[in-house]
Chains A and B, each alone.
Chain A
């Protein structure tokens, strides 16, 4: 099964870009990379997904390496409301989200 590895925690200064890395070295050719975040006591919120090309939406940008073995989620101007646990997953069906990266945005 494809599996992801993320750092357990990161800090980011308010207003700066937050760059969250994810390794997925066993990803298959047709598997997308998805990013979600979870704020305490809420359900996970979908952020962005991609296959090969870099993607951008109103929330974030997703940079996927050419070999697809890793990706980075970029929050361009982090705010205090971006403090959350961020999950990177690569298997749509029987996904186990793991423990993700706890991002703390600091004033």
Chain B
């Protein structure tokens, strides 16, 4: 596809369950980013990948959050033992390369609701 694709678009889960969110970046983009956006709030940076490596994981809110990227393409964000405060829209973006001058292109996000 032409843009960043995220799946599922919506996910409702019970508190305590694990969830996996998927991101397919634009073909050829080496950098991939995860953000989350709570209702009415700005975007909060979580993690970024350059290739399959994550140089900066400091934005992950707790050790229940993890992310991986394989083959320099698809990435999954996993949240273990979900809590109600994890409810948010999780956004993925990719860019041609990590670094200045390379804008981010976003998907439409996964809306996660923890009941």
- A residues adjacent to B (C-beta < 8 A): 30-32, 34, 36, 41-46, 49, 51, 87, 92-100
Contact = CB atoms under 8 A, between A and B. Distances in A.
A43 B91 contact: yes
Contacts, number: 59
B41 A99 contact: yes
Contact of A97 (B43, B100, B101): B43
A100 B41 CA distance: 10
Nearest to B99: A92
Interface string B61-104: 00000000000000000000000000000010100001111111
Given A43-B107, A46-B105, A100-B42, A94 B59 contact: yes
Majority SS at the chain B contact face: loop
Interface residues of B, number: 25
B109 A31 contact: no
B49 to A, nearest CB: 12
A54 to B, nearest CB: 16
19 contacts: A32-B100, A36-B104, A42-B108, A43-B91, A43-B93, A43-B106, A43-B107, A43-B108, A44-B91, A45-B106, A46-B104, A46-B105, A51-B101, A93-B56, A94-B45, A96-B45, A98-B42, A99-B41, A99-B42
B2 to A, nearest CB: 13
